[in-house]
Structure 1
Amino acid sequence: MLANYITRVHHVAIICSDYARAKAFYIDVIGCTVIAENYQSGRQSYKLDLMLPDGTQIELFHFAAAPARPSYPEAQGLRHLALSVTDIDAARNALIAKGVSCEPIRIDPYTQKRFCFFADPDDLPLELYEV
């Protein structure tokens, strides 16, 4: 079984509409570290490799002609990206201090864990999930 060989999620790939705005958000607001940044002139595309503190990576792409997301958040495909936090109140307050709008904290009825949603500059739904 494949699951016997999987150790963790390596990366999540995101296509953004405004490269500079998304880059600033994931570095300055989320706090990702830059691993590498590349521009492919033939494709007129950017790829920014970012890392979260646990080693999980985010690949941030920009393609000039990428279509917009069809709906929020119930479109087929990635529903949301959840980030584990140890103190959801402090994490949410840090986002709000950076001007990011956050939903109220809710409790998952199945796990009893606290969570809340916010969005990146392209309205990609992101979640804080307290562990």
Structure 2
Amino acid sequence: MLQLAAVHHVAIICSDYETSKHFYTNILGLTILGEVHRAERQSCKLDLAVNGRYQIELFSFPNPPKRPSRPEALGLRHLAFAVTDLDSAVTSLNEHGVATEPIRVDEHTGRRFTFFADPDDLPLELYEVGEQVK
């Protein structure tokens, strides 16, 4: 059987590179690991760290096609971020003008969560995990 070690990264294609860069770094607080401008492809790639551990690759390409994301479109459903204090995370998003859905409780785990969207309407989730994030 295949032995996967971990999720290495998640790749996101955005429509407006500077807007998405601002959102993921200044609003969500991800750390820039590296940035590459590829003139031959009219593209940029931004490598981001989540809590120093996981990586998100943010790409820009000219005129990317739209991808349906709601309601419950086939494919990747959403990207979830673990947080230790959901209420303060929601407050921070709201203070930056990011709308969040009402907080819900996972019926199987009893954990609280909410959804919001990035600048391209990619569905994102905040999932409260308690004091330790692993």
- Tell me which interval the TM-score lies in, with the shorter structure as reference length: over 0.9
**One-letter amino acid of the structure 2 residue matched with residue 60 of structure 1:** L
- Listed one character per residue, the Cα deviations across residues 57-92 of structure 1 (whole Å, up to 9, x for unaligned) are 110001112101224152222110000011111111
Q: CA RMSD in A?
A: 1.2
- Listed one character per residue, the Cα deviations across residues 7-35 of structure 1 (whole Å, up to 9, x for unaligned) are x3221100000001000000000001111
Structure 2 distance, partners of 1:54, 1:84, is: 13
Match for residue 125 of structure 1 among 114, 123, 126: 123
Match for residue 32 of structure 2 among 25, 31, 34: 34
- Listed one character per residue, the Cα deviations across residues 83-102 of structure 1 (whole Å, up to 9, x for unaligned) are 00111111111111111100
Which stretches of structure 1, 4 residues or longer, exceed 2 Å deviation after superposition?
none
Gaps of 5+ in 1: none
* Equivalent residue, structure 2, for 1:21: 19
* Equivalent residue, structure 1, for 2:58: 60
Q: Percent identity at matched positions?
A: 59
Matched, 1:69 2:56: no
* Equivalent residue, structure 1, for 2:86: 88
Give the paired residue count.
129
Which deviates more from structure 2 when the two are superposed, residues 74-83 or residues 115-124? 74-83
Match for residue 113 of structure 1 among 111, 114, 129: 111
Q: Find the residue that maps to 2:22 and give its secondary structure.
A: helix
Structure 2 distance, partners of 1:79, 1:71, is: 7
* Equivalent residue, structure 1, for 2:132: none
Structure 1 distance, partners of 2:52, 2:8, is: 10
Output the TM-score relative to the length of structure 1.
0.93
Structure 2 distance, partners of 1:20, 1:51, is: 17
Output the TM-score relative to the length of structure 2.
0.91
Gaps of 5+ in 2: 130-134
CA contact (8 A) 2:31 2:48 kept: yes
* Equivalent residue, structure 2, for 1:2: 2
CA contact (8 A) 1:108 1:114 kept: yes
